[in-house]
Amino acid sequence: MITNIPFGEKHSRLSIFEPNEGTVVVIPSLSLPQDELRIITGARCYEERLLFLLFTLKRPEVKVVYLSSVQVDPAIVDYYLGFLDDPGEARGRLEMISLDDPRPLPLTDKILSRPDVLARIRNAPGDVRDAWMVPFVVSESEERLSGLTGLPVYGPATALAHLGSKSGSRMVGDEAGVPLVPGFTDLRSLTEVEHAARALGRGGRLMVKLNNSYSGLGNAIVVKDDPRLTACRTSFSAAEENWATFAEKIAARGAVIEEFIEDRPLRSPSALARITPGGAYDVVATHEQVLGGPNGDVYQGCTFPASQDYRAEVGECAGRIAAVLARRGVVGLFGMDFFAVKTDGGYRTLLCEINLRIGGTTHPFGAALLTTGAVYDPGTGLLMCAGQPKYYVATDNCAVPRLRGRKPREVVELLRDRGLGFDGEARTGNVLHLLGAIPEFGKLGFTSIGNSAEEAAELHRRTLRTLHPAA
């Protein structure tokens, strides 16, 4: 295994949202459990999730190299560049590299098998000392790619990946002094899970979570109505999962078991934080997650910011976790999910998990930050633009069957004609993403930005009604 190449001194306070110069090589590879990826509609199109980084081309000294398995529709690239003051000039500093390889394999693995693409990546920056790689997630494949190209990776080394597992999250949370849901970690067999379930007491429901999974797809909710765990009523978040297949994954990845949070509605705020190559850390946003799926634990979208009832506590807990991770050498952008549980004295924040990778809230935050020019105010937890706070509502999963067969350009024009595009002067409106999933799946995502929470929510509702009139 090749460890991450260190950043130079000039990159010690690097931010992927506001690079001042240099070449950003974007590797949006879904180097994640492939069995769970297959469940997601249009998973390959999620390689477009980092296209918001094209907005960094507003800085004249920045160049972006963006790789993808198949060609990103030129109309989608035009759409993103259209947010910039001089799209033509910015295009000269953008290189889109397509592998023309639609196979359901991680993009990075495909790149590693292509000497011609490796040569293009090495040659793209000009001066490799001013270049760095932004992956969606860091696996051994991304580290190998770093070694072959000489590009430092903006992300945590795989030697630290365990800190972002479900078991590692509980360990870090405990070290940071952040409250946790009662539970047990590092369970390596179904037998160990059953013993832990008995130790948690009788009755109620429990949550079993695979150590390494995402979007809630590695979860199972168990109703403790039988001494044998496999005989209990169980709801798996992933379709076609059962105890036989889940037990194999527990043995391979490990798992945790926790008490199930019964509060309804379930409040699941999240926080986004970053740690620079120089070791500085900060919390850059809090969100209210929108969850769905059979168990109500699969990420569907978010609103910014998290509720004022617990926003400050979420940010404070996230900062303590970031401090622990910074001391351990983590670099990059990462998310933390929490539960906000109602008590007689208000809300109590409990850590749910840490995701040491770019996640579902990253694109909405990056899109809102870069299109409005706002700055995050940690004191209020708001994005501020010339004294005006900005709010947004985002979805990652707008599925509209009637849009199948339509071109991304047509959907962009439809919303623009209905007054639902982005107003550069007011710095409000919609920023679209996952547009490449429209022709085959009728699926897209969008971030609705307003000057108040109510304005953002109403814009989001109007957009949904326009795209899906029957909804």
49-89, pLDDT tens digit by residue? 999 999 999 999 999 999 999 999 999 999 999 999 999 99
Question: Order of strands across the sheet with 219-223?
Answer: 183-187, 255-259, 205-210, 219-223, 233-236
Segment (H or E) for 286: strand 281-292
Domain end position, chosen among 259, 281, 307: 259
Residues ≥6 apart with Cβ < 8 Å to 463 = 415, 420, 430, 446, 448
User: Is residue 43 pLDDT above 50, yes or no?
Assistant: yes
| Percent of the residues in the chain that have a pLDDT greater than 70, as a whole number | 92
What's the distance, CA 468 to chain centroid?
A: 25
pLDDT score for 58: 95
pLDDT score for 213: 79
427 near 454, Cβ under 8 Å? Answer: no
Calculate the average pLDDT of the chain.
Answer: 91
Shared-domain flag, residues 325 and 255: no
| Percent of the residues in the chain that have a pLDDT greater than 90, as a whole number | 76
Shared-domain flag, residues 233 and 373: no
* 221 domain-assigned: yes
Compute, in degrees rounded to 10, the torsion defined by CA atoms 79, 84, 88, 91: -70
pLDDT in tens, 299-319: 789 999 999 999 999 999 999
pLDDT score for 264: 76
Token couple for 14: 């690097």
Shared-domain flag, residues 253 and 277: no
218 near 210, Cβ under 8 Å? Answer: yes
User: Is residue 35 pLDDT above 80, yes or no?
Assistant: no
Shared-domain flag, residues 302 and 364: yes
User: What whole-number distance in Å separates Cα of residue 383 and Cα of residue 390?
Assistant: 5
Shared-domain flag, residues 318 and 458: yes
The total number of residues written for the chain in this structure: 471
Mean pLDDT of the 288-305 span: 83
pTM score of the predicted model: 0.91
* 316 domain-assigned: yes
* 177 domain-assigned: no
Shared-domain flag, residues 130 and 74: yes
Mean pLDDT of the 10-34 span: 79
Mean pLDDT of the 98-120 span: 95
CB-CB neighbours of 325 under 10 Å: 26
User: Is residue 36 pLDDT above 60, yes or no?
Assistant: no
The CATH number of residue 92's host domain is 3.40.50
pLDDT in tens, 212-242: 876 667 899 999 988 888 899 999 988 789 9
pLDDT score for 291: 82
Mean pLDDT of the 441-457 span: 97
Shared-domain flag, residues 188 and 64: no
pLDDT score for 215: 64
User: Is residue 11 pLDDT above 70, yes or no?
Assistant: no
pLDDT score for 317: 97
pLDDT in tens, 333-361: 999 999 999 988 889 999 999 999 988 89
Query: CA-CA distances (angstroms) from residue 251 to 39, 56, 190, 265?
Result: 21, 43, 8, 33
User: Is residue 423 pLDDT above 60, yes or no?
Assistant: yes
Shared-domain flag, residues 390 and 299: yes
Shared-domain flag, residues 285 and 254: no
303 near 141, Cβ under 8 Å? Answer: no
pLDDT score for 7: 73
The CATH number of residue 424's host domain is 3.30.470.20
* 174 domain-assigned: no
Q: Would you call 96 exposed, middle or buried from its count of C-beta atoms within 10 A (0-12, 13-18, 19+)?
A: middle
pLDDT in tens, 384-415: 999 999 999 999 889 999 999 999 999 999 99
Q: Which segments within 15-130 are labelled E, that is strand?
A: 22-27, 62-68, 94-98
Domain end position, chosen among 259, 279, 296: 259
pLDDT score for 41: 60
User: Which residue segment(s) compose the domain that 194 sits in?
Assistant: 182-259
Shared-domain flag, residues 194 and 274: no
Shared-domain flag, residues 274 and 252: no
* 15 domain-assigned: yes
User: Is residue 187 pLDDT above 90, yes or no?
Assistant: yes
User: Is residue 119 pLDDT above 90, yes or no?
Assistant: yes
The CATH number of residue 214's host domain is 3.30.1490
- Looking at the structure of the chain, the number of domains it has is 3
User: Is residue 287 pLDDT above 60, yes or no?
Assistant: yes
Mean pLDDT of the 146-174 span: 95
* 459 domain-assigned: yes
Shared-domain flag, residues 96 and 24: yes
pLDDT band at 2; cut points 50, 70, 90: very low
User: Is residue 124 pLDDT above 90, yes or no?
Assistant: no
User: Is residue 3 pLDDT above 50, yes or no?
Assistant: yes
Of 159-163, 202-206, 367-371, where does mean pLDDT reach its minimum?
202-206
154 near 16, Cβ under 8 Å? Answer: yes
pLDDT score for 299: 77
Three-state SS at 272: strand
* 1 domain-assigned: no
pLDDT score for 188: 96
* 444 domain-assigned: yes
Mean pLDDT of the 359-370 span: 94
User: What whole-number distance in Å separates Cα of residue 200 and Cα of residue 195?
Assistant: 9
Domain end position, chosen among 219, 234, 259: 259
User: Is residue 1 pLDDT above 50, yes or no?
Assistant: no
